[in-house]
Copies of this chain bind each other. A is one copy, B any other.
């Protein structure tokens, strides 16, 4: 398979209008509200979603123009392989965030913990399912050495 063509199913709207002030992860974006506007033709697919408190949003980093295989993550001073980070400058500019869902009205999903830039094209929504997605025992590589107190401040990115 040479090329894969995708079309957005909606658009993510948020307070984050400046990439440099956009939180780097949902856990650092508590209280940062936003919503996903799903295009009307996909509305039916939202049924039953309201029972889930958290959703994976899969989206496209539309403002990212570069691809780097080595990257200095926001939370570290050392260059890391891009696939060991969540940095946007990836070969396929796909973003993944676990956000909180607090209300659905029609084709609008109201969200909290939004670390996503306003205007971001949404590609897919998947429910966060505790049994599948909550890994009890895991090693988190270089991320385990990050000081959480510092990360909270850097991660929020509010000036």
Q: Which residues of A are interface residues toward B (Cβ below 8 A)?
A: 1-9, 25-27, 42, 44-54, 56, 58, 60, 62, 69-70, 80-86, 90-92, 94, 96, 98, 121, 123-144, 148
Known A26-B132, A80-B47; judge A141-B124 contact (CB<8 A).
no
Give 23 CB contacts A-B under 8 Å. A1-B60, A6-B92, A6-B94, A45-B81, A45-B82, A45-B83, A45-B91, A48-B142, A49-B83, A49-B84, A49-B141, A51-B84, A51-B139, A51-B140, A52-B139, A53-B138, A83-B124, A83-B127, A90-B124, A91-B124, A96-B96, A96-B126, A131-B143
Tell me the bound Cα distance from A81 to B38 in angstroms: 13
Tell me the bound Cα distance from A126 to B4 in angstroms: 19
Q: Given the complex, which residues of B lie within 8 Å of A98, measured CB to CB?
A: 132-133, 135
Q: Given the complex, which residues of B lie within 8 Å of A127, measured CB to CB?
A: 83-86, 140-141, 143
What's the number of copies of this chain in the assembled complex?
2
Tell me the bound Cα distance from A52 to B46 in angstroms: 33
Tell me the bound Cα distance from A134 to B5 in angstroms: 31
Known A42-B69, A53-B138, A134-B135; judge A5-B3 contact (CB<8 A).
yes
**A140 in complex: contacting residue of B42, B131, B139, CB < 8 Å:** B131
